[in-house]
Amino acid sequence: MSIAGPLDKDLPVPLYHQLQTVLKAEIEARKWRADEQLPSETKLAERFGVSMITVREALKGLAELGYIRREHGRGTFVTRRKFDEGPRELTSFSEEMRRHDLSATSQVLSQFVTEADAKVADALLIPLKSAVYTLRRVRLAGGEPMSVQTAHIPAAFVPDLEIAENASLYEVLQNRYYLYPAKARETYFAAAAEPEVAGLLAIQAGSPVFAVERVTTLPNERPFEFVQSVVRGDRYSIVLELEKHSGDTASAPLSALRPLAKSKID
C-alpha cells in the first residue's frame, strides 16, 4: 500500500476533485487569508505532481463554490466568505471548547508507536500489525476533565510525531504533516466508567459515560485517524437536529456531542 499523501492516484476519486478538496481544506484552515493570492497554477502543479489541466479544474470548482476568485492578468485570490458552523462541522476539541468560552488543555498519558491490532487495522484500512502512532490523553475544559481519548494514526503518515502537553493534535497534523481532516464518522455507545478511567475523569466508577469511536478521513477519502474516547455523561449531551426534506420519506439527522452548561448539572 502506498504512503498517504494529499493526492492518491490509485483511488477512484478524480485527481482534480482530490486537489479541490485539499485546497478547500487549506483555505478553511486559514493557510491563506481573505484576499491573499494563491500560488500560481504552475507551482500548484509542481507541488502536487499533477497536470495544469487538473489544477485548472480544481480551481474552477473552488471558484464555483465561492472560495476563490480569479482575476485576469493578476492571479487567483481567496474570497471573503462566511464558513458554516454547527453540528455538521468537523472540529478539534480545542476549537469546540473555545466556542463555549472554555480553555482547552490536555494531559498526555502516553504516546508511542506500536503494532495495529485487528480493530485499529480495520478502522484505518491498513494491514494487521502495521506500525501506528498512539496518543492517549485526558482532555480538560476549564481545568475539568471531560474525556479520555486515544488516537491511532498510521506511523508512516506522521514520522517522529511527538505531541506536547496542551497542544492541538489537528493543528500539528495540518501544519507539520499537511494532513487535513475532511470527514469523520462517529459511533456512540452507552457505557459505565471503568475504575481506571473514572479516576482520570474524577467521577465515580460505574458512572454513565459515552464510549465514542471516530474514524477521520483525508480529502482523498483515506482514513488517517481512529479515535476511541470515553466522555463524561454528566458534562455532555447528544443533540440531534432532524430535518425533513421536501419529497423525502425520512428525516436526515444532524448530530453533535455538546458540553452541557454547568447551570444544568451543578
Question: In this structure, what CATH number is given to the domain that contains residue 214?
Answer: 3.40.1410.10
My answer on whether 146 and 68 are in the same domain is no
- pLDDT of the residue at 34: 80
Grid cell in block for residue 136: 492517549
pLDDT score of 256 more than 80: no
Kindly give, in sequence order, each residue whose CB lies less than 8 Å from that of residue 17, ignoring residues fewer than 6 positions away. Answer: 58, 61
My answer on whether 128 and 244 are in the same domain is yes
Q: Has residue 60 been placed in a domain? A: yes
Cα separation, 38 vs 34, whole angstroms: 10
N- to C-terminal Cα separation, the chain: 51
Grid cell in block for residue 123: 478502522
| CATH code of residue 24 | 1.10.10.10
pLDDT score of 237 more than 60: yes
Is pLDDT larger for residue 219 or for residue 195?
A: 195
My answer on whether 171 and 97 are in the same domain is yes
My answer on whether 74 and 110 are in the same domain is no
- pLDDT of the residue at 13: 80
Closest CA to 225 of 235, 234, 212, 215: 215
- For the ranges 29-33, 40-44, 104-108, 255-259, the maximum mean pLDDT occurs at 40-44
Q: Domain range holding 53? A: 15-78
Task: Work out the percent of the chain whose per-residue pLDDT is above 90.
Answer: 44
Kindly state the average pLDDT of the residues 224-228: 96
Q: How many domains does the chain have?
A: 2
Q: Has residue 9 been placed in a domain? A: no
Amino acid (one-letter) located at 59: L
Domain end marker among 78, 107, 123 = 78
Kindly state the average pLDDT of the residues 209-226: 92
Kindly state the average pLDDT of the residues 134-149: 90
Q: For residue 266, count CB atoms less than 10 angstroms from its CB and return exposed for 0-12, middle for 13-18, buried for 19 or more.
A: exposed
Cα separation, 148 vs 185, whole angstroms: 19
CB count in 10 Å sphere of residue 142: 14
My answer on whether 100 and 228 are in the same domain is yes
DSSP 157: G
Kindly state the average pLDDT of the residues 196-210: 93
Nearest-10 Cα torsion for 92, 96, 102, 104: -10
pLDDT score of 64 more than 60: yes
